[in-house]
Amino acid sequence: MEPIRAILLPGSVLPAHLAYDALIEALGPDVDAVAKDLELYDGDEPPDGWTLDTEVDGVLREADARGWETFHLLGYSGGGAAALAFAAKHPHRLLSLALLEPAWAGNWGWSPAHARLWQDYNALDALPPGQFMAGFMRLGVKPDVVLAPPPQGDPPPWMAKRPAGIRAFLRTFENYDLDRGRLAAFRRPVFFALGGLSNPDDYGEVADRLSSVFPDFRLEVFQDRHHFDPPHRIEPERLAAMLREHWGRAAGRVAEG
């Protein structure tokens, strides 16, 4: 029996292996899960002209190098936005889509509360790196959530790239054309994990929007989680069980034709 094939895209902060090692272990040996780093961080600075399409092309190269004609795709935060872009452009390559609080889902029909939130995100651009990261994290959760303090000691070398990378995501979100019609035509199963303590004007609204776009959409709420203690790191066994069920259902859909 062939293993389940999946590509996992991280968010704009943690490298892929730190984000997904626990989840990959929980998924078990019959899942060939590839934690793929973002193209955004391939060099010291974001590549010239970087957009979500850069990440789409990177996923294609990864799958083609492995000889994977079809596969499951999972993305968290910024990686979730890239996964949406991939589903819009290359739906025939996907067996299913899993979204862990994608950071963005197109520029159509946001509520006034969500629009105000994005004004706050854009206002972070003038801040120095330390204040930028603190402000970015605060906007992603409910007001009464107490965020963990930054780790003691010197930050890891990769952290120096993150403010510029997050800014690159915010810029591409302003003008990237995510085709709603092509997403609505995506017939494979879509799984969405939402943290109950995440900002409802951000990730909650993204979930609501996508639930009305994808024909086969399943929402799971992790009541005690938020965007910066997500289930793939804090509750990997629970999420792994849900993903295996999701991927099994997708395989059944393929078998049915």
For residues 188 and 216, the answer to whether their CB atoms sit within 8 Å is yes
For residues 119 and 220, the answer to whether their CB atoms sit within 8 Å is no
Q: Has residue 257 got a pLDDT over 60? A: no
Q: Alpha-carbon distance 193 to 83, whole Å? A: 14
pLDDT of residue 240: 98
Structure tokens at 68: 């994977």
Reduce the secondary structure of 60-93 to three states and give it as a string. Answer: HHHHHHCCCCCEEEEEEEHHHHHHHHHHHHCHHH
Q: What is the pLDDT of residues 84-129, one digit of tens each?
A: 999 999 999 999 999 999 999 999 889 999 999 999 999 998 899 8
> What ranges do the domains of the chain cover?
4-256
The dihedral sign for the CA sequence 99, 203, 135, 177 = positive
Q: Has residue 152 got a pLDDT over 90? A: no
Q: Alpha-carbon distance 3 to 95, whole Å? A: 13
Q: What is the pLDDT of residues 122-149, one digit of tens each?
A: 999 889 988 988 999 999 999 999 998 8
Q: Could you confirm whether domain 4-256 is CATH 3.40.50.1820?
A: yes
Q: Alpha-carbon distance 149 to 112, whole Å? A: 31
Starting at the edge strand found earlier in the chain, the sheet holding 94-102 runs: 31-35, 4-9, 71-77, 94-102, 190-195, 217-222
